Amino acid sequence: MFAIASQLEWSSRAPIAQVTTLQYRQLHALFLHAEKHSSFWRKRLREVGFDPRAKSFDVGTLPKLPVLTRQTIQLHAEEMRAYPAPVKWGEVVSFQTSGSTGQHLRVDKPEINGLLFDAVTFTDHIWNRRDFSGKLAVIRKEVGKDRGGPYWSRETLNLVTTGPRVQINPVGRDIGEVLDWLEAERPTYVTTWPSVARQLAYLKLQRGGPQLSIRQFLTFGEMVSEELHWILQKAFGAQLSDRYSTEEAGYIALQCEHSRRYHVTPLAIVEIVDDEGQPVPPGTQGRVLVTLPHSFIMPLIRYEVGDYAIAGTTCGCGRTWPVLERILGRERSIVQFPDNSRQFVPIDGLDWTAIAPVKQWQFRQIAADRIDLLVAPARRLTSAERSKLIDGVTDLFHGAFAINLREVDSIASLPSGKRPEFIRDF
Ligand SMILES: [Zn+2]
């Protein structure tokens, strides 16, 4: 694992052409493997002219392949699997993912993917110069009932001595209970979803009390906004460090600690494309397609993750890994307007604390032209606060929706543990 992390660190400073050459060598190996062991991929690759006997690899083959949708995977999962993986890649692990769109998917990965994953996590620690002696708090559903352990995680075990890990499963718990736990544990670092971090921050600002200093929130799995950066700073004096990953694809990119841009790891090839599958120019928004050159058992080639991002160019930090300017997040951040246009809305872009003592909130689009704003306030809102909130939200959605404000006691998490700010519910 440390050897892989060292190579990753080297690659982040190496000329991009050199890294790309190595990456495409691995991609060629994946194409050969997939062509040999999977009927689905044999057909797909042959259709775009891939010749397994050719000596050299045409890098132009990749963008010719059709986009791989989640639905295609669900329909053709069995023909897509390319067994067996090389023996030296280790045992195969299967798991289910719900993904961003709530459609279930089974993904099989050999052990080496775990090693690669851990190496990226370790690289992220190094980039951020994390203090390994600190206490790490993990707030995510995967922890189950386990309360923690004497070391941070698999990637640090037997490599560096770390402080302890404490953890809590937030599913089914009130966010106040999670904050109580955090205030008792007083960790140095917190790992959780952005939506949970945001709600903890707003609740802490409402609750006040003794200062709770947290050095950094390590987030994953949802969109991160500028607002989240400053609200975590305000509530906990904390920095925010995001990792762009999905359950099925693993790590895709790490947030740069210098610029807040994202660097795509060499374990993934990312394309940002328009609705026709054509690459968009830097600075432009498009869909994220991911190709994983190490995905031998379940090849993911031009896989449409379901996220939008803004293509980037370079980063001032000097690292050569490709840059994503911003991750705009999931399909659900793209709101379908009454005129049928689909627009990206910065759903978390309001400074709620300046308007009203709001602990939790959520938008629910309940009809083509109606949005309910659910708010869990610290006390009953005044009519002035209510109308200010409604005005703010009406503006946010360009006056296109009838906004109905509903005060509730609390807003439950989804079964996954996430607490999305926007739900389409009709
Ligand atoms: Zn950078």
What secondary structure does DSSP assign to 41-61, as a single string?
A: HHHHHHHTT--TT-SS--TTH
pLDDT at 8: 96
pLDDT at 43: 97
Tell me how far the alpha carbon of residue 350 lies from the centroid of ligand 1, in angstroms: 28
pLDDT at 142: 78
pLDDT at 100: 44
Q: Which residue has the tokens 């840059």?
A: 323
The CA-atom distances, in angstroms, between 4 and each of 154, 187, 317, 353, 360 are 14, 29, 22, 44, 41
In contact, 29 and 337? CB cutoff 8 Å? no
pLDDT at 350: 59
Tell me how far the alpha carbon of residue 168 lies from the centroid of ligand 1, in angstroms: 32
E-state strands within 98-197: 105-110, 136-139, 148-149, 165-168, 189-192
pLDDT at 160: 95
Give Cα 179 distance to the centre of its chain: 23
pLDDT at 173: 80
Tell me how far the alpha carbon of residue 265 lies from the centroid of ligand 1, in angstroms: 12
pLDDT at 417: 64
Tell me how far the alpha carbon of residue 62 lies from the centroid of ligand 1, in angstroms: 26
Tell me how far the alpha carbon of residue 203 lies from the centroid of ligand 1, in angstroms: 32
* Residue 172: HSE in the Cβ half-sphere, 13 Å Cα cutoff: 5
Tell me how far the alpha carbon of residue 290 lies from the centroid of ligand 1, in angstroms: 20
**Which domains does the chain show, CATH number per domain?**
2-118+247-333 (3.40.50.12780), 128-244 (3.40.50.980), 337-424 (3.30.300)
Per-residue pLDDT of 182-218, as tens digits, reads 999 999 999 998 888 988 998 999 899 999 999 999 9
pLDDT at 334: 67
Tell me how far the alpha carbon of residue 320 lies from the centroid of ligand 1, in angstroms: 8
pLDDT at 226: 84
Tell me how far the alpha carbon of residue 315 lies from the centroid of ligand 1, in angstroms: 5
Tell me how far the alpha carbon of residue 270 lies from the centroid of ligand 1, in angstroms: 16
H helices, E strands: number in the chain: 10, 20
Instruction: Indicate the pTM of the whole model.
Output: 0.81
* Segments of the chain with pLDDT less than 70: 97-105, 330-334, 344, 346-351, 353, 415-419
List, in sequence order, every residue forming a beta bridge with 192; answer none if it has no partner: 219
Tell me how far the alpha carbon of residue 120 lies from the centroid of ligand 1, in angstroms: 15
pLDDT at 384: 93
